[in-house]
Amino acid sequence: MKILIINGPNLNLLGTREPEIYGNVSMEDYLSQLKTEFSSQILNHYQSNIEGEIINRIQEDDFDALIINPGAFTHYSYAIADCLKNISKPKIEVHISNIYKREEFRQKSVTAANTDGVLSGFGMNGYRLAVLSLIS
């Protein structure tokens, strides 16, 4: 299975950005671990701070399933929500922190309704759990 992992704004800073919330492991290091653990799957990663680039990447349609952490776009990107609504492939939204324990504006996801499931608050392990869900 070819799984695309998309991360939104500032997630390229994982490992250094607010380590008390997001941990101290970079996405590159964590992806390396995932690729080793799930060597029979094809895991590709894409990160962008630009909403339209994320939409364009999803619409390339070269994957079997999607894991998306829209970052701040989670809370207001109806454009990404519409894009997710219009793809029929399995898709899981992941949040490293528990968005329901954060500021009030972070507790609403406009994108979640257009995914098959949401993992929130499991740290980086949320990506692993999403892969497990998609391949089972």
96 marked as part of a ligand binding site: yes
99 marked as part of a ligand binding site: no
> Could you write out the DSSP letters of every residue in 10-43?
TGGGTTTS-HHHH-S--HHHHHHHHHHHTTTSEE
d(CA 131, CA 136): 9
8 is written with which tokens?
Answer: 């939104």
97 marked as part of a ligand binding site: yes
Q: Does residue 45 have an active-site annotation?
A: no
Q: Does residue 95 have an active-site annotation?
A: yes
- Exactly one of 22, 30, 76, 127 is catalytic; name it: 22
- Exactly one of 46, 76, 78, 95 is catalytic; name it: 95
d(CA 104, CA 124): 22
Residue owning tokens 């993992």? 119
106 marked as part of a ligand binding site: yes
Annotated binding site for substrate: 69, 75, 82, 96-97, 106
Catalytic site residues? Answer: 22, 95
Annotated binding site: 69, 75, 82, 96-97, 106
